[in-house]
Amino acid sequence: MDTVGKVITCKAAVLWEHNKPFSMEDVEVAPPKAHEVRIKMVATGICRSDEHVVTGSLPRDLPVILGHEAAGIVESIGEGVTTVKPGDKVIPLPIPQCEQCSVCKHPEANYCQMNGIESKQGAMQDGTFRFSCRGRPLHHFLGTSTFSQFTVVNENSVAPIHADAPLDTVCLIGCAFSTGYGSAVKVAKVTPGSTCTVFGLGGVGLAVIMGCKAAGAARIIGVDINKDKFAKAMAVGATECLSPLDSQQPVSEVLSERTGGGADFTFEVVGRLDTMMTALLSCHPAFGVSVVVGVPPNAQSLSLNPMLLLTGRTWKGAVFGGFKSRDSVPRLVEEFMTGKFKLDALVTHVLPFEKINEGFELLRSGQSVRTILTF
Ligand code: COD
Ligand code: ZN
């Protein structure tokens, strides 16, 4: 059936209320307007940030269609779209790259001003909605809303990828992998022979380890309170692991002793203020670089003794691994296809889209690293 220019009715997982299961609904998806793209979803990962909306710790207007780590095929394009065409394999981008704003024009920065991360009200970039259900508009999430058989995104929020890319794995390049890997190779700029410490060995932490390894780090120390995470961390490149619960001494002191005064690079991939401070303390006072990757769920602040920085430490952070999204995602997909890094270590479960609530239970119970939902 030719769907171009028509409203498509399809299944989507709608969040109507906080802390309630997703409800599988028939939703109407409007055709793409100018500079928009409608995508048929093939695979989507479940990310902790989606769960933060479910619990309300990341405030968003409801009802909403969540999901932002995915891959699919272009179904149709709106007027003026030139960079993708129907049939192209694509990855929707939770951070756009508009090419117009001062951030996009800056050679290093990636936090495009068209991003919707800090906006509570999820909508398309023109402020309107493309989804409706039972006569009500549904909110978008991060300009992607991938928990739907079809979605509409802005052209600056989608990257065309290699025609042979396996969509059920490269979907992870849409969030977890890029966030972690880029934090090592692009944000920290890990150097060959260096010592790195990674706090938090979830999916994003594992991707940080992969980045440290690819950049040639000699020692990669994984830190997690859950020792079940150690085997996988070692498999993707950690050279040693430890739990802060195993010692009476603060873990920053244990690490300082182990690393001759502090690591070259440390990464906070837990999303807690205390581990952010521990990660900062655990990098070398004179030349260490500490990168904040995690985000504490509610707006919270840290207070800091400036001496920690005056001695020579660097403290930084970035979203999406500091990668400019449209430039980097197609290249990362090609690097994956040439074997530069593997993604299978991150995938612990694959479920049909209809079992989305089961997928979220696996995340909540800590059993999964990443669950991929297939359509
Ligand atoms: N010390 C050490 N490890 C700990 C501690 C602690 N005190 N507490 C928990 N942990 C461990 C857990 O056992 C777990 O293994 C790990 O930390 C966290 O892993 P996950 O699986 O819960 O989470 P990830 O890896 O999927 O994601 C972690 C982030 C912190 C990156 C994530 O929660 C986050 O903040 N994401 C937002 C960052 C971002 O850039 N988002 C952009 C769009 S998604
Ligand atoms: Zn995410």
Q: Whose CA is nearest to atom 31 of ligand 1?
A: 294
pLDDT band at 201 (very low <50, low <70, confident <90, very high): very high
What is the average per-residue pLDDT within 86-97? 98
What value does the mean pLDDT of the chain take? 96
- Judge whether residue 69 has pLDDT over 80: yes
d(CA 352, CA 350): 7
Q: Which of 240, 232, 237 is nearest to 259 (CA)?
A: 240
Q: What is the signed CA dihedral for 188, 190, 196, 197, rounded to 10 degrees?
A: 20
Using CB atoms within 10 Å of the CB of residue 219, give its burial: 0 to 12 exposed, 13 to 18 middle, 19+ buried: middle
Helix or strand (DSSP H, E) at 192: none
Q: Whose CA is nearest to atom 32 of ligand 1?
A: 294
Residue 49 bears catalytic tag: yes
What is the average per-residue pLDDT within 53-67? 95
Give the position, in ligand 1's atom list, of the atom nearest the Cα of 269.
30
266 lines ligand 1 (CB under 6 A): no
Q: What is the DSSP annotation of 106-139? A: SSS----TT--TT-SS---TTS--SEEETTEEEB
d(CA 205, CA 268): 8
pLDDT recorded at residue 116: 86
pLDDT recorded at residue 118: 81
What are the domain boundaries of the chain? 8-174+343-374, 180-318
How far, in Å, is the centroid of ligand 2 from the Cα of 18? Answer: 18
Residue 175 bears catalytic tag: yes
- Judge whether residue 139 has pLDDT over 80: yes
What is the average per-residue pLDDT within 319-340? 97
pLDDT band at 1 (very low <50, low <70, confident <90, very high): low
> What whole-number percentage of the chain has pLDDT above 70?
99
Residue at 106: amino acid letter: H
Give the Å distances, CA to CA, from 185 to 103, 206, 255, 335. Answer: 20, 14, 22, 14
pLDDT recorded at residue 300: 79
pLDDT recorded at residue 121: 84
pLDDT recorded at residue 291: 98
pLDDT in tens, 288-310: 999 999 988 776 789 999 999 99
What pTM value is reported for the model? 0.95
236 lines ligand 1 (CB under 6 A): no
Three-state secondary-structure class, residue 46? coil
Using CB atoms within 10 Å of the CB of residue 82, give its burial: 0 to 12 exposed, 13 to 18 middle, 19+ buried: exposed
What is the average per-residue pLDDT within 64-83? 98
Residue 47 bears catalytic tag: yes
8-174+343-374 to CATH, choices 3.40.50.300, 1.20.200.10, 3.30.429.10, 3.90.180.10: 3.90.180.10
Q: Whose CA is nearest to atom 41 of ligand 1?
A: 319
Q: In this structure, are residues 200 and 268 in contact, taking their beta carbons and an 8 Å threshold?
A: yes
241 lines ligand 1 (CB under 6 A): no
The CATH code for residues 180-318 is: 3.40.50.720
Give the position, in ligand 1's atom list, of the atom nearest the Cα of 201.
15
368 lines ligand 1 (CB under 6 A): no
Catalytic entry in 68, 139, 140, 284 = 68
pLDDT band at 148 (very low <50, low <70, confident <90, very high): very high
Q: In this structure, are residues 71 and 373 in contact, taking their beta carbons and an 8 Å threshold?
A: no
Catalytic entry in 98, 112, 171, 175 = 175
Q: Which of 296, 341, 292 is nearest to 319 (CA)?
A: 292
pLDDT band at 12 (very low <50, low <70, confident <90, very high): very high
Q: Which residue has the tokens 């800090």?
A: 118
Q: In this structure, are residues 36 and 155 in contact, taking their beta carbons and an 8 Å threshold?
A: yes
